[in-house]
Amino acid sequence: MTPLHEPLVDTEELRPTHLEVDLGQLATNYRALVARLGEVAVMPILKANAYGHGLVAVARLMERLGAPCLGLAFLEEGIRLRRKGVRTPILILGGILGDQIPRFLEHDLILTASSVDKLMAIDAAARAMGVRASVHLKIDTGMERIGVHWYTAPELLEASTRCTHVDVLGIFSHLATADEADPTYTRLQLERFEEVLHFYEARSLPTPVRHLANSGGILKHPGTWFDMVRPGILLFGVAPSQECPVEGWGVAPALTWKSRVVYFKVVLPNNPVSYGATWAPSEWTRMVTVPVGYGDGYPRALSGRAEVLIRGRRYPVRGRVCMDQVLVDVGRESAYNGDEVVLLGGQGTESIRVEELARLVGTIPYEILTSINTRVPRVYVGEDG
């Protein structure tokens, strides 16, 4: 086991609850996608703390693996990576405010130009600073978030040809339903995007790098791959939905959420446990306390629903999940202080996948992973590329 790339404390001082991230598995996942996609470039999406895996360590790994570009959501994520020495091109996918533009330029970050006004503001700021700005043009083909509508996109593309201090490196849109069973809306978005791209062919202009496919698009819609794809949750070995299985793609989860037993007691019949007194055993049972809770991102909605792994066996969480602790019922079995507890991941021949936890909570795997609090230390293991 190797220590954190950015140690917050010595490894010996880590709280019992931590995330173990297998960098070797992440490297395998990235290489598998690169091999499968051939000449299509792969831009890892590392927003939301690299889907809970740790932004800086994962970005450094992707840089060592030769990723052509990294995708993030916000300016501050990009600045953090630059300050940590990551030099790979970084595209910030989200919307921007005008007063943020100089910060993008100072840190050599690629901006998303989502309107004519924003593009002109970027050009003006770059001119004033005596530098060139790199941008990707954002086209809204059906999400209604940011970006110009596909039917008004020619105005943005025309404006981009008049800029004096802007380099248009890419053009992209985002798929709303690529991970769902019905392909109809994805096909419509693809048609709209292709209609926009005709602008370049009609004027004999070089086409910027085109990218449309998210994880769902990569898995289900090869026609959306274009020049570059944007794997997010797929990079981390997790299926974006039940309709998008990852089997056969050579990827696997790289994260294990671990803790340890810190207390053991016998609970007598009819004695309720945890807040609200919502559950009590009908006969005496052995209970253990695990130092993890919703304050760490372990959802309160898992109360009385989830299971954990101890010594390779599943045991149920009883009563309500507390902010910092959960209670686990081991029945007539034995567990001891210090025993490893796996909340997410594998132990022995058993495993608890993030898709299982998401189903129990009634949410999506993305939310489970990105909700794991930063107070949970990340420990990196395995070959790191």
Domain layout of the chain by residue ranges = 23-236, 255-352
Q: Which long-range contacts (CB under 8 A, 24 or more apart) does 274-278 make?
A: 274/303, 274/318, 274/319, 274/320, 274/321, 274/322, 274/327, 275/319, 275/320, 275/322, 276/319, 276/320, 278/303, 278/304, 278/319, 278/320
Q: Which CATH class is domain 255-352?
A: mainly beta
Centre a 10 Å sphere on the Cβ of residue 148 and count the other Cβ atoms it contains: 23
Which pLDDT value is given to residue 98? 87
At residue 308, the 3 state secondary structure works out as strand
User: pTM score > 0.85 for this model?
Assistant: yes
Which pLDDT value is given to residue 180? 96
Where residue 2 falls among pLDDT bands split at 50, 70, 90?
very low
Where residue 310 falls among pLDDT bands split at 50, 70, 90?
very high
> pLDDT digits over 345-385, tens only?
999 999 999 999 999 999 999 999 999 999 999 999 987 65
Distance CA(163)–CA(211), nearest Å, equals 22
Which pLDDT value is given to residue 9? 45
| 86 contacts: CB under 8 Å, gap ≥ 6 | 56, 59, 60, 63, 70
Question: Is 118 among the residues known to form the active site?
Answer: no
Which pLDDT value is given to residue 4? 38
Which pLDDT value is given to residue 15? 85
Which pLDDT value is given to residue 279? 97
Distance CA(336)–CA(376), nearest Å, equals 23
Distance CA(104)–CA(126), nearest Å, equals 10
Q: Which position among 151, 263, 265, 275 bears the catalytic label?
A: 275
Strands 111-113 and 133-140: parallel
Which pLDDT value is given to residue 384? 64
Which pLDDT value is given to residue 155? 97
Contact in structure between 53 and 255 (CB atoms under 8 Å): yes
> Which fold, 23-236?
TIM Barrel (3.20.20)
Distance CA(354)–CA(247), nearest Å, equals 15
Contact in structure between 30 and 23 (CB atoms under 8 Å): no
Instruction: Calculate ∠ Cα 219-220-225, nearest 5°.
Output: 75
> pLDDT digits over 140-174, tens only?
999 999 999 999 999 999 999 999 999 999 999 99
Q: Which position among 30, 47, 315, 366 bears the catalytic label?
A: 47
pLDDT, mean over the chain: 95
Distance CA(83)–CA(173), nearest Å, equals 29
Where residue 329 falls among pLDDT bands split at 50, 70, 90?
very high
Which pLDDT value is given to residue 13? 62
At residue 111, the 3 state secondary structure works out as strand
Q: What is the mean pLDDT of residues 134-143?
A: 98
> pLDDT digits over 8-46, tens only?
444 546 789 999 999 999 999 999 999 999 999 999 999
Question: Is 315 among the residues known to form the active site?
Answer: no
Determine if residue 118 is left, alpha or beta; phi over 0 gives left, psi from -120 to 50 gives alpha, anything else beta.
alpha
